[in-house]
Structure 1
Amino acid sequence: MTAVGFCGDWFVLSCEKKLVALHRKKSREPFVFDCSCAEKTPKGLKKDAGSDGGPSEETGSDTVLAFAVSPSGKLAALTDDSKRLVLFECEPSWRCISIRWVVRRCTSLTFSPAEDELLAADKSGDLYSFSVVDPQREGGLQMGHLSMLLAAAVSPDDRFILTADVDEKIRVSHHRSPYNIQSFCLGHQQFVSALQIPPTHPHWLLSGSGDGTVKLWDYESGQCLQSCDLRALEEVPGSDPDKDKNLAVCRLTSSPDGCHVAVLCESVSTVHFFTLGREKRLVPHSRLHLPTRPLDINFDDDGRLWVLLDSGDIPLKMYALRQNSWEHEADHLEVTRVTEALRPHWSTMNASTRATDRFEHLYKVSFDNVSLYLQKKQQRLDEQQKRTKAQKPSGNKRPKTGTSRAEVQTSS
């Protein structure tokens, strides 16, 4: 998974098998963590390594599957295809604190607001809790869904855990007693792929889905406050949106002041901007059309949007809000410094791996059995009518009688 984050003044990128941290303000030595060179699985865990039916640790690809930064920016974590869970300290300097092991491959990581806990959601639908205070302690099972988890978040007051799965559900559970469910946020028509709690609106939740919509929730009550169809925003004004078009939200990110929201969809070269006010509504602001496919987006501490592009020439762009318009900061010193430091590492990463679609295989295939039955029934009726017509005698032929003409002449 290719992802972008910020740890204070550090620009952090996870891509393929590496995590790379680059300082934005000063010319400092980059920090690079290569999962393929990391600690291997202890012998005692080899039996559990293939418990999910996938390849064992020996055949793991070491590809980074999930990455997270703590709210203060002092900690970071990643998990990879070899089932490692790696915890980092970013301040005063980068160092690896611990390497632990998860039971099954993870899909999402998130820190608690107090930064004493790291939550890992996995493909089997389970959510595990790992201690940050005791970085060597094994994780404990917190809760589980019946289907694969794709995203997780913790409310700013640390009361609730929010989890989203491939069966369109968002569950809101009490953090200290996860078996106690506060509410469900139901309304998406496809898998829920992204969750975001705006920084200045702690009681609201933004969710993105494979159905091409972004929804705003009061998550404690489960009430949907608004739904925005991104396909309608992509269409020409006055035309009907294409309901059959797959459009999966892969990133939801909010500015530090919570007033601006940026949305990125998989395999689309457009970033959607919204404004979020106190009137409980997302208001479409503008669209940013990019020359190449964006891999990830994120706001820094100053409210500027960084865009990582699938391009070897210009991998990074920065956009700042100027007079109510998002303008490209072409010659910004921070972007220049980070780009130059990133280039040697970016050139060694596989472009095909960077651009992999993560959600395409999660769409549910529907079968219309009634239409198929009616079609086959009509075919049978048509064939039956053809056979009936073929068996009927022609209207010009005389019907046969019991005595032939030759027999009549002979008898006379």
Structure 2
Amino acid sequence: GEPGRETPAGAGAPGGLLALTGGTRLLAARLKEPSHDDLFVYDCATASKTPQEKQGKDIKSSGKASHDILACAFSSSGTYFSLTDDNKQLILFRTKPAWECLSIRSVIRRCTSLIITATEDKILVADKSGDVYSYSITEPENPGTLELGHLSLLLDVVLSPNDQYIITADRDEKIRVSLTRAPHNIVSFCLGHTEFVSRIFVIPNYPDLLLSASGDCTLRLWEYKHGKEVYCYHLKSLNICEATKNEKKYTVLRIAYCCEESCIAILYDCTPAVSIFQLDAGAQKLIDKQHIPLNCKGWDIAFEDTGGLWVLQEDMETPLLLYQLVDGRWQPDTEDKRLKKMTKYIHDNWTAFEGCIGKESCYQNLYKASFDNMAVYLQKKEERLQQQKKSRRKDSQPESNGQTKKIRTEALSL
């Protein structure tokens, strides 16, 4: 339940790659080669720290820290992949022609989100103290450089498609837009959410639009360069599944996007469902298209190049699902050879995912605690008035045997 502790994640990328993380382990394979046994497995708990030892900056393991993976991301071309773990390691991989680890560096704080620039020369890492650091890819052993800071826990960081803007979202409802080359230069704030902002996403083929999700159960579209909100969708209006009708807390865990269909997939934190929205960029609004119920909690979602939607879920029997768009509806594809291959890989490495089963929401401690001070004040005031009335009634009652009259007479004589 600690903020920044991610559930297992699946990330799609150009090049037909699929990466899954569970606990301390990374599993990756090429989807375009279903018959080839090409599984790459990497365990952060046994990662070599040689790059740091060469610099004399070996990472000291904390007794409380684990090596669970907290965040990960592909570069836009799929050439690079980076992840960060609970032991404050930032690990960089090259995926082509084969997967290899390029560097292991230490970070200052535990990270909540990371992204690789479109030029594929830097990794931007957001952490729990509210800072964003950049780490070089071209010089993979260099330490990080502080780029910007918030006064609150950062939950997500994204870049505009041309790397011109860096956009950060925090616990205090703020979305901040800064110039990437000069992050101290704040272009705008996107203000309107009333709870923490869990996810932000710049629409790749409509790069002036930003989609945000919040603990206030809304999805909002922004013209982020001007800090202007153009659309708000209230998720509380949805009755996705019977089990959550009374809860009505649809916190968004993941956002995935399919450029070909202008289709947005939403995965919820503790609601076993995936919602599909159509982006109408001309009208600048979201159209509710479909809701896919899941048998159990979803861990992550990702679109592949060909448009298939992958879903990783908390189910040992069917941990991975694949949906294809057929006649305007997303339908499960259970016969896909790639799905069978990846499912086998997960079954063979299921021990990596066991520790993630049944984990509580990573957002539950981020909601505002509400205090109605006026109600407490009025209640105490009413109690005082009632007590005063009781005291007056008691004083006005005559005592037996003339005691009240005698006391008053003595008081006057004094």
TM-score between the two structures when normalised by the length of structure 2: 0.88
Q: Which of 252, 261, 264 in structure 2 is aligned with 1:261?
A: 264
Is the aligned partner of 1:391 residue 2:413? no
The RMSD of aligned alpha carbons is: 2.4
Secondary structure of the residue aligned to 1:381 is helix
Change (3 A) 1:398 1:123: same
In structure 1, stretches of 5+ residues that fail to align are 50-55, 403-412
Q: Which of 333, 336, 343 in structure 2 is aligned with 1:332?
A: 336
Q: 1:247·1:266 contact (CA, 8 Å) conserved in 2?
A: yes
Partner of 2:29: 22
In 1, the alpha carbon distance for the partners of 2:240 and 2:86 equals 38
Shifted more, 219-228 versus 252-261: the winner is 252-261
Change (3 A) 1:257 1:198: farther
Secondary structure of the residue aligned to 1:312 is coil
Q: Which of 16, 38, 43 in structure 2 is aligned with 1:9?
A: 16
Secondary structure of the residue aligned to 1:383 is helix
Aligned AA (2:9): A
Partner of 1:408: none
Shifted more, 160-169 versus 326-335: the winner is 326-335
Change (3 A) 1:152 1:397: same
Q: Which of 306, 318, 321 in structure 1 is aligned with 2:322?
A: 318
Aligned AA (1:133): T
Shifted more, 194-203 versus 354-363: the winner is 354-363
Change (3 A) 1:256 1:235: closer
Equivalent runs, 1:362-373 vs 2, <5 Å: 362-373=366-377
Partner of 2:158: 153
Partner of 1:231: 236
Partner of 2:410: none
Q: 1:256·1:302 contact (CA, 8 Å) conserved in 2?
A: no
In structure 2, stretches of 5+ residues that fail to align are 1-5, 407-414
Structure 1 residue 279: Cα displacement:
2.0
Structure 1 residue 245: Cα displacement:
4.1
Q: 2:129·2:154 contact (CA, 8 Å) conserved in 1?
A: yes
Structure 1 residue 355: Cα displacement:
3.5
Q: 2:210·2:223 contact (CA, 8 Å) conserved in 1?
A: yes
Q: What whole-Å deviation, never above 9, does each CA across 1:253-305 have from its counterpart, x for those lacking one?
A: 11132610011111101111100122211111111111111111111111111
Structure 1 residue 199: Cα displacement:
1.9
Q: 1:57·1:83 contact (CA, 8 Å) conserved in 2?
A: no
Change (3 A) 1:146 1:44: farther
Partner of 1:306: 310
Q: What whole-Å deviation, never above 9, does each CA across 1:194-244 have from its counterpart, x for those lacking one?
A: 1111221111111111111111111111111111111112279xxxx97x8
Q: 2:240·2:273 contact (CA, 8 Å) conserved in 1?
A: no
Aligned AA (1:273): I
In 2, the alpha carbon distance for the partners of 1:45 and 1:388 equals 76
Aligned AA (1:23): R
Structure 1 residue 44: Cα displacement:
5.2
Q: Which of 367, 378, 384 in structure 1 is aligned with 2:382?
A: 378
Q: 2:398·2:404 contact (CA, 8 Å) conserved in 1?
A: no
Q: 2:314·2:357 contact (CA, 8 Å) conserved in 1?
A: no
Structure 1 residue 178: Cα displacement:
0.7
Partner of 1:114: 119
In 1, the alpha carbon distance for the partners of 2:297 and 2:354 equals 15
Partner of 1:89: 94
Partner of 2:409: none
Structure 1 residue 399: Cα displacement:
11
Equivalent runs, 1:216-255 vs 2, <5 Å: 216-234=221-239, 245-255=248-258
Q: 1:131·1:139 contact (CA, 8 Å) conserved in 2?
A: yes
In 1, the alpha carbon distance for the partners of 2:138 and 2:404 equals 103
Change (3 A) 1:233 1:394: same
Structure 1 residue 394: Cα displacement:
6.6
In 1, the alpha carbon distance for the partners of 2:109 and 2:57 equals 12
Aligned AA (2:381): K
In 2, the alpha carbon distance for the partners of 1:35 and 1:210 equals 31
In 2, the alpha carbon distance for the partners of 1:155 and 1:23 equals 27
Structure 1 residue 383: Cα displacement:
2.0
In 2, the alpha carbon distance for the partners of 1:95 and 1:349 equals 23
Secondary structure of the residue aligned to 1:349 is helix
In 2, the alpha carbon distance for the partners of 1:400 and 1:280 equals 81
Equivalent runs, 1:187-206 vs 2, <5 Å: 187-206=192-211
Structure 1 residue 110: Cα displacement:
0.2
Q: 1:152·1:162 contact (CA, 8 Å) conserved in 2?
A: yes
Structure 1 residue 170: Cα displacement:
0.5
Q: 2:22·2:352 contact (CA, 8 Å) conserved in 1?
A: no
Change (3 A) 1:235 1:135: closer
Structure 1 residue 384: Cα displacement:
2.0
Partner of 2:42: 33
Change (3 A) 1:317 1:401: closer
Structure 1 residue 187: Cα displacement:
0.6
Structure 1 residue 23: Cα displacement:
3.1
Change (3 A) 1:141 1:391: same
Secondary structure of the residue aligned to 1:86 is strand
TM-score between the two structures when normalised by the length of structure 1: 0.89
Structure 1 residue 366: Cα displacement:
2.0
In 2, the alpha carbon distance for the partners of 1:229 and 1:259 equals 20
Is the aligned partner of 1:143 residue 2:148? yes
Higher RCO (CA-CA < 8 Å; seq separation 6+): 2
Structure 1 residue 9: Cα displacement:
2.5
Secondary structure of the residue aligned to 2:225 is coil
Partner of 2:80: 75
Structure 1 residue 63: Cα displacement:
0.8
Q: 2:73·2:83 contact (CA, 8 Å) conserved in 1?
A: yes
Partner of 1:406: none
In 1, the alpha carbon distance for the partners of 2:171 and 2:144 equals 24
